[in-house]
């Protein structure tokens, strides 16, 4: 069924694109919203997405696509399937096509200097979305819009304090950490932010006893957690770098005959719908939201950059923290 729906969406998309083109040519009759931009040249945005590794990412993609359409920009979109080389070649092709602005979510943190220098030489401004990069030359990109992962890690640490207090937890806090994909910014920074809080306020009572990558996937989270529970049966807190890994881990915790959310308190990051479902069932104790719906903010930024205005180097997306009490109320509003 989904298959057909997809096909229909694609067909409608093609038809709509054809219709718009026709409107632009005829130039008369009904004034569609895209005509509003008529005066200047239409902005072309090249967007290189990481892939579609999770529901979060799909929501992010949809938001960007919808916002570009609403703003009347031409969007050239590519999906890198989690491979840096794909993303680099996508960016190269955007440079060759002379798009106005390039935006991308880097797969990994390093290794972007060469291709971004090419963009700079071609005078195409680059915006980073959602994930940051490490570079020796800050002029290679104009702005970074997205969540602050280090801050998310800190928020998760603070949230754990609240959750522990509410659960009336006493004694040592033995934390298992499920890391994201090794080398990816969200994995590194969510671990870093969490550790900051731990080192600052809980040097003696909190301890990360095991930490391993679950690759941001449910299957990964499940398998790694199963091994954790064998090697360290006394774990009482799980900090997962995303909801999907937490959801997988919950299954392993239950298979081990323990209660997720009670015997093992769970904090995760993201806030996808399935995560909220699990939280409303009491299986996750707290979720630090990482908002993927940054499309409209991005388009605003693209316009400013294209007009040559100076923009802030760091723009944060709007996000919240959720505990179990809020889960039921927030659930219907979750779009992804």
Partner 1 sequence: MTTTPRWRALTHHHLFWPVAVLVILLLVNVPFTPDFFAIKMTDGHLYGSLVSIVLFGSPLILVAVGMTLVIATGGIDLSVGAVVAITGALTCSYISDQADQSALSGVFLALGIGLAAAIVCGLWNGFLVARMGIQPIIATLIIMVAGRGVAQLITDGQIITVNSEPYKLIGGGYWLTLPFSIFIVAAVVAVTVAITRRTALGLLVESVGGNAEASRLVGIRSMRIKIMVYVFCALCAGIAGLMISSNTSAADGNNAGLWIELDAILAVVIGGTSLLGGRFSIGGTVVGALVIQTLTTTIYTIGVPTQTNLVFKAAVVIIVCLMQSPKFRAKVFGAKFGGKRAAVPAPAETAPAAEASPKMEVS
Binding mask 117-146 for partner 1 (x = CB under 8 A): ------------------------------
Q: What are phi and psi of 146, to 5 degrees?
A: 155, -175
| Residues in a beta bridge with 216 | none
Q: What is the 3-state secondary structure (H, E, C) of 54-113?
A: CHHHHHHHHHHHHHHHHHCCEEEEEECCCCHHHHHHHHHHHHHCCCCEEEECCCCCCCCH
For the packed helices 243-255 and 218-231, what is the interaxial angle rounded to 10 degrees? 40
162 is a contact residue toward partner 1 (CB under 8 A):
no
281 is a contact residue toward partner 1 (CB under 8 A):
no
213 is a contact residue toward partner 1 (CB under 8 A):
yes
30 is a contact residue toward partner 1 (CB under 8 A):
no
Give ∠ CA 152-157-163 in degrees, rounded to 5.
120
52 is a contact residue toward partner 1 (CB under 8 A):
yes
Q: Which is nearer to partner 1, 125 or 220 (CB)?
A: 220
Q: Which is nearer to partner 1, 2 or 22 (CB)?
A: 2
Give the nearest distance from C-beta 19 to partner 1 in angstroms: 24
Closest CA to 300 of 17, 99, 67, 95: 67
**C-alpha 108, offset from chain centre:** 13
Binding mask 250-269 for partner 1 (x = CB under 8 A): -x---xxx------------
Q: Which is nearer to partner 1, 51 or 72 (CB)?
A: 51
Binding site for partner 1 (CB under 8 A): 1-3, 5-6, 51-55, 57-58, 61, 81-82, 179, 182-183, 210-213, 215, 217-220, 222-224, 226-228, 230-231, 244, 247-248, 251, 255-257, 274
């Amino acid at each position: 069924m989904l298959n057909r729906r997809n096909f229909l969406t694609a067909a409608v998309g093609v038809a709509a694109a054809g219709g718009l083109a026709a409107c632009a040519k005829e130039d008369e009759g009904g004034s569609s919203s895209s005509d509003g931009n008529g005066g200047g040249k239409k902005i072309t945005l090249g967007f290189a997405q990481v892939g579609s590794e999770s529901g979060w990412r799909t929501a992010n993609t949809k938001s960007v696509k919808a916002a570009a359409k609403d703003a009347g920009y031409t969007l050239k979109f590519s999906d890198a399937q989690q491979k840096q080389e794909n993303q680099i070649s996508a960016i190269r092709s955007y440079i060759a096509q002379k798009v106005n602005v390039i935006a991308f979510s880097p797969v990994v943190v390093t290794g972007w200097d060469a291709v971004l220098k090419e963009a700079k030489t071609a005078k195409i401004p680059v915006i980073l979305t959602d994930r940051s990069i490490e570079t020796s030359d800050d002029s290679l990109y104009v702005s970074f819009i997205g969540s602050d992962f280090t801050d998310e890690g800190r928020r998760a640490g603070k949230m754990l304090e609240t959750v522990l207090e509410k659960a009336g937890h006493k004694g040592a806090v033995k934390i298992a950490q499920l890391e994201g994909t090794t080398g990816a910014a969200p994995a590194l920074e969510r671990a870093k932010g969490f550790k900051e809080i731990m080192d600052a306020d809980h040097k003696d009572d909190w301890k990360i006893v095991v930490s391993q990558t679950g690759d941001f996937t449910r299957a990964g989270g499940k398998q790694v957690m199963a091994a954790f529970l064998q090697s360290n049966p006394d774990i009482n807190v799980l900090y997962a770098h995303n909801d999907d890994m937490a959801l997988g881990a919950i299954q392993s915790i239950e298979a081990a005959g323990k209660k997720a959310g009670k015997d093992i308190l769970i904090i995760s990051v993201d806030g996808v719908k399935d995560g909220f479902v699990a939280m409303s069932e009491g299986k996750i104790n707290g979720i630090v939201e990482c908002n993927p719906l940054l499309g409209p903010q991005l388009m605003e930024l693209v316009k400013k950059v294209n007009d040559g205005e100076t923009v802030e180097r760091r723009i944060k997306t709007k996000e919240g923290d959720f505990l179990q009490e809020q889960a039921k109320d927030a659930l219907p509003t979750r779009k992804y």
